[in-house]
Amino acid sequence: MRNVCALFKREFASYFATPLAFVFIVIFLILTGAFTFFLGGFYERGQADLAPFFNYHPWLYLFLMPALSMRLWAEERKSGTIELLMTLPVTLWQAVLGKFLAAWAFAGVALALTFPMWITVNYLGDPDNGTIVGAYIGSFLMAGGFLAVGSCLSAATRNQVIAFILTAVLCLFFFLLTGFGPVINVFSGWLPQTIVDALASLSFLTHFTSVAKGVIDLRDLLYFATLIVVWLAATAIVLEMKKAD
Amino acid sequence: MIEINHLTKRYGPLTAVDDISFQVAPGEVLGFLGPNGAGKSTTMKMITGFLAPTSGSIRVCGHDVDSAPIAAKACMGYLPEGAPAYAEMNVRAFLDFIADIRELTADRRRSRLDDVIGRLALGSVLDQAIETLSKGFKRRVGLAQALLHDPPVLILDEPTDGLDPNQKHEVRTLINAMAKDKIIVISTHILEEVDAVCNRAIIIANGRILADDTPQQLAARAPSGRLDDVFRTITTQGAVAHA
């Protein structure tokens, strides 16, 4: 635990050592705002809730989360610090976990800084704050899912751009489109319903949407927890296999 | 004590390290010599637990590197080739991170940090980002990191590479000062360095040990009495015999 803490601290601080933290947070806030007010029609809907804000999170995360996760391991490999890290008395699991938690906590900070949105909607009307809290939790969990996938793909390469693209593409096809209405409709035309349902149940979208409605179901939480653990385990396996490449 | 038994590392068809065995006792400063690609770095990466050997075993301070890696790593300080360090961190934050991982606390932490910062003359760059440092300072930060927990075993891969003559001299003085009760393994292809700091030299080429002796005894093998001549004779013969 001490080691995870030390690794977490170092990694978390490293986001702020470069303009990355600042750029990321500013872009994140601008985009969430733009999506909410322009695409989501926050005012025009005339409803006091944050649905137009949260609805676009999966699509925003699709390219913002890989930008956070791409450096996790690719940079260690490229700069050779992976050799330093792996010869310190830390286990592979501590390293994988410490780094992932740092990225996740950073995403959490960015998400938390959207609080003016929540204040706005409370000022304008009388929203269901329980639903909003649920949606925040769901969004945070989904960010963790993206980051865990990104951690694994970052471990597989020394090139951050490749890590970014692979993560975005994989998440798009396996975790977003599989739960996206129009795509499901196309597939249900020529695939058995059970397979379509199975695919949809693996999707971030399906689980995020249900949590974002304010229904915190144990199955959705379990889905994200399992997903994160599985992808972190895959990260450790990939690192173990090709530590020195 | 480092005990290496029948260590072999293969990368596909290439054998980088070919069945080598040796032991190093406290007080020994072992110079690992060999042409580029001889297997020096690969051997060091296996001793420090970064690479897993294809076969053979390594024990450091009584801990098997394969079955008890954390205990073995805790008693080693390692300077990897090229002295990698987190570029965006400043020197102080980097050494603090290493101190955290090495579980140094309170007074001991302070005294160890003061000691390495003093010994390696890092006082003037503590608040500078590592990426902005000169090659010499980067190397010294790497050494500071390896020495921080005062380990009984030091593995230094080309510790003086890229340093100017004065800095080389300082690093050698540092190694000599620590040599008494530690095990120090350094790899180098600078032969004068072996004369200056080592009391034992192993010449390795094509993954095999070709000579293991004191630098003086090795030098005496050539009619000229010079270590470079011995090195050339041994390593080129080895290559011919291997081919």
Three-state SS for A16-76 is: HHCCHHHHHHHHHHHHHHHHHHHHCCCCCCCCCCCHHHHCCHHHHHHHHHHHHHCHHHHHH
Determine the Cα–Cα distance for residues A229 and B226; give it in Å rounded to an integer. Answer: 59
Burial of A55 by CB count in 10 Å (0-12 exposed, 13-18 middle, 19+ buried)? middle
A178 within domain boundaries = no
- Give ipTM to 2 decimals: 0.91
Grouping H, G, I as helix, E, B as strand and the rest as coil, residue A157 is: coil
Q: What is the pTM of this model?
A: 0.91
Backbone angles phi, psi at A106, to 5 degrees: -65, -45
CB atoms within 10 A of CB A125: 11
Read off the pLDDT of residues B38-61 as tens digits, 9 standing for 90 and up: 889 999 999 999 999 999 999 999
Report the pLDDT value the prediction gives residue A185, as an integer from 0 to 100. Answer: 80
Flag whether A189 is in a domain: no
The answer to whether residue A195 sits within a structural domain is: no
Contact list in B for residue A89 (CB cut-off 8 A) is: 70-71, 73-74, 101-102
What does the pLDDT read at residue A82?
94
Show which of residues 107-126 on chain B sit within 8 Å of chain A, judged by CB atoms. none
Strands B63-64 and B55-60 come out as antiparallel
Q: How far is A237 from chain B (nearest CA, A)?
A: 14
- With a cut of 90, say whether residue B133 has pLDDT above it: yes
Q: What is d(CA A142, CA A221) in angstroms, rounded to the nearest whole number?
A: 10
**Does A117 fall in a domain?**
yes
pLDDT the model gives residue B192: 83
Q: Structure tokens of B164? A: 């100017």
Query: CA distances (Å), A142 to each of A52, A168, B118, B233, in order?
Result: 17, 14, 48, 64
Question: Mind listing the pLDDT tens digit for each residue in B69-118?
Answer: 999 999 999 999 989 999 999 999 999 999 999 999 889 999 999 999 99
Burial A103-112, CB ≥16 within 10 A → b, else e: bbebbbbbbe
The reply to whether residue B48 touches residue A80, judged by beta carbons under 8 angstroms, is: no
| Torsion angles phi and psi, residue B210, rounded to 5 | -100, -25
User: Could you list the residue range(s) of the whole structural domain that residue A139 is in?
Assistant: 2-173+205-244
pLDDT per residue as tens, chain A (245 positions): 889 999 999 999 999 988 889 999 999 999 998 888 888 777 777 777 788 888 889 989 999 999 999 999 999 999 999 999 999 999 999 999 999 999 999 999 999 999 998 998 889 888 888 889 889 999 999 999 999 999 999 999 999 999 999 999 999 887 887 778 787 787 777 788 888 888 788 888 888 888 888 788 888 899 999 999 999 999 999 998 887 66
Q: Which of B50, B82, B87 sits opposite A87 (nearest CB)?
A: B50
- Residue A177 is classified by DSSP as G
Strands B2-11 and B55-60: antiparallel
Residue B88 at interface with chain A, using a CB cutoff of 8 Å = yes
pLDDT of amino acid B241: 46
Min Cα separation B71/chain A (Å): 7
Does some domain include residue A192?
no
Q: Do A84 and B51 touch (CB under 8 A)?
A: no
pLDDT, residue B238, reads 53
Contact (CB<8Å) A87/B102: no
Q: Which of B41, B43, B88 to mutate to test the interface with A (most CBs of A within 10 A)?
A: B88
Q: How far is CA A201 from CA A65, A158, A196, B113, in A?
A: 21, 32, 9, 53
**CA angle, B67 then A96 then B10, to 5°:** 50
A127 falls within a domain: yes
User: Residue A141: inside a domain, yes or no?
Assistant: yes
Structural domain contains residue A190: no
Report in angstroms the alpha-carbon separations of B184 from A181, B20, B64, B79, B130.
64, 18, 18, 11, 26
Cβ distance A83 to B88 less than 8 Å, yes or no, reads no
Q: Which residues contact A173 (CB under 8 A, 6 or more apart)?
A: none
Helix extents (H) in chain A:
2-17, 20-34, 51-54, 57-69, 71-79, 81-86, 92-112, 115-124, 129-155, 160-170, 181-190, 193-201, 204-212, 218-241
State how far residue A4 is from chain B, nearest Cα, in angstroms.
9
Q: Name the burial class of residue B135, with classes exposed (0-12), middle (13-18) and buried (19+) by CB atoms within 10 angstroms of its CB.
A: middle
Q: Is A218 exposed, middle or buried (0-12, 13-18, 19+ CB in 10 A)?
A: exposed
Count of domains observed in chain A? 1
Distance CA B164, CA B136 (A): 7
Of B35-39, B95-99, B201-205, B214-218, where does the model show the most confidence?
B95-99
Does B80 reach chain A within 8 Å, measured CB to CB? Answer: yes
The pLDDT score that the predictor gives to residue B237 is: 73
Tokens (6 digits) for A120: 């706005």
Mean pLDDT (whole number) for B189-193: 83
